[in-house]
Homo-oligomer: A and B are copies of this chain.
């Protein structure tokens, strides 16, 4: 098998376009938001890509993220900054989920989270386009992924974390060579500082959807899922939704795969899962709005989805509605119960955001939205090992263990 990150293969990228107005922008250039302040989407010559790459040729490649090169923006193999972006496994959770429940375990990616998908693409493009200094606001995992990939290729990084960012994230960001700060505010307030610095020319702004290539990395979740499911998409997807890049990316992936003729028109119902303590997308979904207002006093144990305002709100809502899915909120107690049940019964330790999808899945089954037999994929976006677990372990004196029957 050929090594996907060393072989030169053509990218079929043609241009970028504004997700709101459709206005076009040139490929192979640095971009932030469009002129109207909305995310840019990368477009490809899919006819050309389909002629260059067949599903059989794809099946002969190693299964990592870089097998999709024709559908990704990086032009030269030498710019790929890889830490081993493996295909993440699908794991049944029959006891804590049910007969149809499958977890896609994104915690197996570099730095232990799905943020690696977006950041490996964005950093590789930054390298290709000559960026030397990057700043980003993060609830934790995105910052860890950015720090690792940037360190690897010598790009300097400044990372701003809200005060409630998990401790492990702040520390791993620093260990991986970034300058990291804790800010007394939420992620959008950290983002405002990053934006100010970018305007002053101090760094390139890597905020969610403010540069166009992270979404292309996250898109590979959808491409990979389609290939793993034998080009027959699942019935439903539960996705923990903060900035929503992954949900938007998967929706884009399915569209590109249909244009390639590799899948049909069937789509999974997309369920955007938020925490009750920070649910701007759910509120907008229920009110029938196209955009979501900022959620004040956001608070949840699931830090990754504590995002009061998402710049891609309308894209999330559009995908959820077009798919026949829904936006759902679950409370912290249900999230923690789901994490506990999945570990104890099925041996799989989810992150809190992954626990949120399992809690929302049960809620959706109770409400008749999902049938237990339907093939349903829950995204576990990070390894559960990053998060505090309850104290455990009674003491035993080796010299005084008499009756082993007590053990």
Contact = CB atoms under 8 A, between A and B. Distances in A.
Number of copies: 2
B395 A345 contact: no
A197 interface: yes
A164 to B, nearest CB: 12
A176 interface: yes
A161 interface: yes
Contact of A392 (B175, B189, B345, B396): B175
A87 interface: yes
B393 A348 contact: no
Interface in A322-369: 340, 343-349
Interface stretch (A35-43, A69-77, A143-151): A143-151
Interface string A274-293: 00000000000000000000
A355 to B, nearest CB: 12
Given A151-B344, A348-B148, A389-B171, A396 B112 contact: no
Contacts of A192: 398
A174 interface: yes
A385 B174 contact: no
A161 B392 CA distance: 12
Given A385-B385, A404-B200, A151 B394 contact: no
Contacts of A170: 392-393
Contacts of A349: 111, 148, 172, 175-176
On chain A, which size bracket covers the interface?
35 or more
Nearest to A185: B398
Given A172-B389, A347-B152, A87 B84 contact: no
A182 B200 CA distance: 55
A405 to B, nearest CB: 7
Nearest to A113: B385
Given A1-B59, A90-B84, A184-B395, A343 B112 contact: no
A84 B171 CA distance: 28
Contacts of A398: 183-185, 189-190, 192-193
Is chain A's interface secondary structure helix, strand, loop, or mixed overall?
mixed
A393 B184 contact: no
Interface in A72-88: 82-84, 86-88
A181 interface: yes
Nearest to A181: B396
A373 interface: no
Interface of A: 1, 59, 62-64, 82-84, 86-91, 105, 108, 110-112, 135, 147-152, 158, 160-161, 168, 170-177, 179-185, 189-190, 192-193, 196-197, 200, 202, 340, 343-349, 383-386, 389-399, 401, 404-405, 407
29 contacts: A64-B89, A84-B108, A86-B87, A86-B108, A110-B348, A147-B347, A148-B348, A149-B347, A151-B343, A151-B346, A160-B396, A161-B393, A168-B389, A172-B389, A173-B392, A173-B393, A174-B393, A175-B389, A175-B390, A181-B407, A182-B394, A185-B398, A190-B398, A192-B398, A193-B401, A196-B404, A202-B404, A202-B405, A383-B383
Given A175-B349, A179-B407, 15 more contacts: A64-B89, A83-B347, A83-B348, A84-B89, A84-B90, A86-B89, A135-B407, A148-B349, A171-B389, A171-B391, A172-B385, A172-B389, A185-B398, A190-B398, A383-B385
